[in-house]
Amino acid sequence: MNAPVYIVDGLRTPFLKARNQPGPFAASDLATIAGSALLARQPFLPAQLDEVILGCASPSPDEVNIGRVVALRMGCGRKVPGWTVMRNCASGMQALDSAIANIQAGRSQLVLAGGVDALSRAPLLFSDAMVRWLSGWYAAKGVGQRAKLLARFRPAMLAPVIGIMKGLTDPVVGQLMGQTAENLAYRFGISRNDMDAFAARSHQRVAAARDAGHFDGELTPLIEDDGTLHRFDDGVRDDSSAEGLAKLKPFFDKRYGRVTAGNSSQITDGAAWLVLASEAAVKRFGLTPRGRISDSQWAGLPPEQMGLGPVHAATPILQRHGLALNDLDAWEINEAFAAQVLACLRAWADDAYCRDELGLAEALGRLDESRLNVDGGAIAQGHPVGASGARIVLHLLQVMERSGGRRGIAAICIGGGQGGAMLVERP
């Protein structure tokens, strides 16, 4: 990257677990609450932003360009452009990368960028058969035509299509995301015990970090209309254990599988934002940068192996900067599935994979897991798809500030067979 792009500040909502019904907040509510709280503590006015960029994988039909809706609701005024990006699980990271591109091109100086999703509100859809029947019904003329249509109606046509299941199924290979995790578990010999131990550790680390106040600086509370207060991510199980998780049945491959609801990320609602600024904006507004995004990379790979996206995206960054895996002080790899993160670690340590898939002479080695997701991750906190890419960049910065680290990488796998990664440095 050329001109530096600074992270000035960041904030997110608690992530709220979907509980088989619409959650208390729409996506625009979540983004507005977090964004307004973040902007309220800045020395500039919302109307002084050059643009607002919001990643969202599943906006509601009345908020398709949710970035613009939220910008107006936050008081940015009519002259500040607001727009929406979508790159599945990395939508929030794509918003950051789009902001970086515009800042480096000189089109913007000060940008609010992040991501949001309210997956509990993913729609239930009519089947194609029902849609065709309804089309005929509304086009019918007279009692006779409608009587014929009634004779062709079948109650089964009313069975809803679950929108989130459609969204989590790759249309090219016809596999749910959890089935792609099963592919990686088989390829790298990852056992059920390996997955459950990793998942339990995620819960344990999040609970410990919460109790130690490590999330306080990045969270703004949510308050429901009835006064219910949400201060923290509510999907965390303090009593989680590998033994308890072992009791759950496989979800995606019920006969031979190893991936369960317990060792997968949770379906969740949440939003995360970062303020990004050019050097000129830092000087103009007297800002104090917390860090900078020094490099980013996107990669493609087979959709059925999509969980290895962090390997393909982060490796070129390491090569460009002459870094080994453990030269980084901290890593955040989004925990879509325990099998997926473990597969990334095994791929980097595998000579054949690094040679055949990454074009390297030998394996990169073993990543020190004490540097990885030190405060847990999406298995415990949840994965509101549009927000996660921004969350891991924000929390990576939080971890390095706490530990005194200088450099870290945030990486994420992306449905459809892609990966994204960002190198973050502290001043």
- Give catalytic residues, as residue numbers: 89, 383, 413
In Å, how far are 182, 259, 286 from 255, measured between CA atoms?
12, 11, 60
Instruction: Dig out the tokens for 333 from the structure.
Output: 């790899």
Q: Are 6 and 287 in contact (CB under 8 A)?
A: yes
Note the residue count of the chain. Answer: 427
> 154 in helix, strand or coil?
coil
Return the DSSP state at 45: -
The two counts, helices (H) then strands (E), for the chain are: 15, 16
Roughly what angle, to the nearest 10 degrees, separates helices 309-320 and 338-348? 40
C-alpha distance from residue 27 to each of 41, 69, 112, 118, 215 (Å): 22, 11, 17, 5, 21
* Side chain identity, residue 146: R
- Which residue in the block uniquely carries the two structure tokens 């919001």? 54
- CA triple 360-366-367, angle to 5 deg: 105
Q: Rounded to an integer, what is the distance from CA 395 to the centroid of its chain?
A: 12
Q: Which amino acid is residue 301, in one-letter code? A: L
For the chain, give the longest Cα–Cα distance.
77
Per DSSP, the three-state class of 424 is strand
Q: Whole-angstrom Cα distance, residue 340 to residue 91?
A: 19
User: CA torsion 161→163→164→168, rounded to 10°?
Assistant: 80
Tell me, what amino acid is at 178? G
C-alpha–C-alpha distance, residues 417 and 304, integer Å = 7
3-state secondary structure of 413: strand
For the chain, state the CA radius of gyration. Answer: 22
Distance from C-alpha of 82 to C-alpha of 98, rounded to nearest angstrom: 12
Q: Quote the CA–CA distance of 49 and 173 in Å, as a whole number.
A: 41
CA angle 26, 28, 29 (to 5 degrees): 65
| Start-to-end CA span in the chain (Å) | 16
